[in-house]
Amino acid sequence: MKKILFLFFLPFFLWSKPLDFNRDVRPILSDKCFSCHGPDEHGRKADLRLDIEKNAKDSDFMAIVAGKPDESEMIFRIHSDDEDEIMPPPEIGKPLTAKEKKVLEQWIREGAVWADHWAYVDPVKNPLPKVENKSWAKHWIDHFSLSHYEREKADPAPDADPVNLIRRLHFDLTGLPPKSETVDKFVQNPSPKAYSELVNQLLDSRHFGERMAIYWLDLVRYADTVGYHGDQPHNISPYRDWVINAFNQNMPFDQFTREQLAGDLLPNSTTQQKVASGYNRLLQTTHEGGLQIKEYDAIYAADRVRNVSEVWMGATVGCAQCHDHKYDPYTIKDHYAMAAFFADIGDRGFTGNSLPTRRPPEITIHNPKNLAKIQQLQKEMNTLLPPANQKKFQEFQDRKNRLTSTLKKAKEKDKQDLQNKMGNLDKEISKLTGEKELARYRKMHREKVEIEKLGRPTMISQAVKPRTMRVLPRGNWMDESGPIALPAIPEFLGQIQSQKERLTRLDLANWLTDSQNGKGKLHARVLANRVWFLLFGKGLAPDLTDFGGQGTPPEHPELLDNLAHSLLEKKWNLKAFIRDILLSRTYQQSTLPKKGFLSMQIARRLPAEFVRDNILAVSGLLVPEIGGPSVKPFQPPGYYRHLNFPRRVYKQDTGDTQWRRGLYVHWQRQFLHPMMKAFDAPSREECTTQRPQSNTPLAALVLLNDPTFIEAAKAFTHRIIKQGGTSVTERLDYAFKESISRSPDKFESETLIALLDDPKTTEPENWTPIARAILNLAETNLRR
């Protein structure tokens, strides 16, 4: 009996599983210790570093004595009652919990085993874990998930039913709901072959690029306005279309990276590669008349460092803007060395309140249809006038237009002279070719000019002489005493081997994706984690932004590493990578498992844009065109009343543009569209890797009262009346299958029928309350 009691009361550390430094210990040290005993030498206390093993275990300090917690100064300090001795100091407001103290004691007792920070070590390809239920694991990913379930003494959750699975696939790959006939076909034959074919079909859908673009635009903080001061619109929408097309064309992600960071630096750079380089112009800017140019040089440089490091590295290098990073090995020198890569982007000193702003360099982009027309007209024009004469024609025409403008303002005595000059320009133009040919040429020229007016200007990058970049002590833009910083990667990550005098943005892009000579393996881990998040609702490393000391280590590091290797083995082929995950049984599991069962899938509400798209698709109003200018749907009057410099009035679009996808809605940073804001879309002032999910009355009120959704309910009503049969039961069944891909149960039917004023009437208005109720169901906008 004494033996049993002894075993029962054994201390926690003797019977718990061995600790993992990165998973269990480093997060405590980073959160509670590194701010005073970490990488920042200027903020370091007592000259003690706890982020490096050699320093932490220095015998002069005896802070950590491996295997001997009783001799370790750390353990003495964390248990001290003396305010002058206890660690962490009370004034920093981060006391250790009892559990954290036990973890530190257990770790030292087990030998204080150290490990390099997981995010800075190249991912290792791990062998598949052994599992008991071998028949369940049909894919390499399943071995890792099943191993986790078995360690937790749980069974895998059942496979999702065919209806939820097909809805999940459609929302995950296109952001749109499946059509009822597509659901019926799959439910009748939910075989692995049918599922695989459906995956291929959706990956090939033109809407795949739209779905992926929404997440990418969150990362790179794409918006239609400048952000600061007057938040005026700027020209950038063709960049958004380039992103959509890149995903649809399955552009390898390393090329996707190069074209955005350095599209203008690529050999024989194409027009579309220049459009892609608009990434470097997406940051918030100001057009205030009194701006201090050097101040905004520093602000823009820091913005670019924050975004590049968060998007491609899962790192917060931006935190080293004023001092060495408090938690990670990034120094202030690293910050400005990264900023120096972008010192060749000429975007200084643009002022004025024009709508939209002008921020050269810009180029004009035409849609494929208009571009073809322009090229055809130019070809025909070349047969009428040689290029040299076309140039003369344009010169004469420009002079004539200037004279016409002057004539309107001229005094009476000067008019005759101006008219004579215009007449002379006409004896000159007519000399260029015959009268008939000239008439045809003029007509084609006018047509070409009118089509060219439909083009969209877009900001691009164009390298200029790099401005001098200095380390700014304490981030102070007025202090130029710091050393000059040349383009370089963070020092602790190595260096880029190059014979060039100065590294460029192209060198940085290559380093980020090169798995042999750069840090492509680290980036592959960041990207794989985010793709997993899109398909499951939670990253394997929960913090999608920060893989550093303040981030959360991965719950399944071996699986994450293998996914990174899978992405690299597929040569950055995103569609192949996503397809591989979708074919796993782990992806196909049901959500909300019962007690004793586990699933990696998480049920969640659709993102803001998908809520709009889903309801418009169900109602039949959705206009599924790809690309084009941003659109302005219904918005409450007066919402822009505080938007100044200059003041402006929101003018909503009419016609089909009113029913475009949420991806194309005008993104006003300071005054985000209220519907988007209510459903947690970000302002895109900074990189957003994961949107919050709130559940507030505002969202319900938007679904009920936003004019877009009221019009959608009316349109859905007409569909129900026209296509849903004649009886109430048939119409309810039709409405449910179109919106949530199933029939209503008894309670739902009775509740909704009660909303009818007269069940026998065929008046559409009688069914509008039912349509609104169905479109407002949580299940309608739920991805399971």
Q: pLDDT grade, residue 510 (50/70/90)?
A: very high
pLDDT digits (tens, 9 = 90+) for 307-353: 999 999 999 999 999 999 999 999 999 999 999 999 999 888 788 88
Higher confidence at residue 430 or residue 551?
A: 551
Q: What are the Cα distances from residue 195, in Å, to 182, 187, 202, 588? A: 12, 10, 11, 10
pLDDT at 420: 85
Rounded Cα distance, 297 and 301, in Å: 6
Q: Looking at the chain, how many residues does it have? A: 784
Q: pLDDT grade, residue 13 (50/70/90)?
A: very low
Average pLDDT on 554-560 reads 96
pLDDT at 677: 97
Residues 6+ apart with CB under 8 A from 1: none
Average pLDDT on 706-725 reads 96
Residues 6+ apart with CB under 8 A from 563: 141, 525, 528, 529, 532, 540, 581
pLDDT at 427: 76
pLDDT digits (tens, 9 = 90+) for 513-530: 999 999 999 999 999 999
pLDDT(5) > 60: no
pLDDT(408) > 90: no
CA pseudo-torsion sign 555, 559, 561, 564: negative
pLDDT at 481: 96
Percent of the chain with pLDDT over 70: 98
What does the DSSP 8-state code read for residue 267? T
Residue reference for tokens 């990670």: 328
pLDDT(36) > 70: yes
pLDDT digits (tens, 9 = 90+) for 720-741: 999 999 899 999 999 999 999 9
CA proximity to 768, closest of 715, 724, 731, 730: 715
pLDDT(17) > 80: no
Q: pLDDT grade, residue 16 (50/70/90)?
A: low
pLDDT digits (tens, 9 = 90+) for 236-289: 999 999 999 999 999 999 999 999 999 999 999 999 999 999 999 999 999 998
pLDDT digits (tens, 9 = 90+) for 146-155: 999 999 999 9
The three-state secondary structure class of 598 is strand
Higher confidence at residue 760 or residue 277?
A: 277
pLDDT at 4: 39
Computed over every residue of the chain, the mean pLDDT equals: 93
Average pLDDT on 32-53 reads 90
Name the least confident of 190-199, 360-369, 433-442, 551-560.
433-442
Other C-beta atoms closer than 10 Å to the C-beta of 640 total 17
Other C-beta atoms closer than 10 Å to the C-beta of 192 total 10
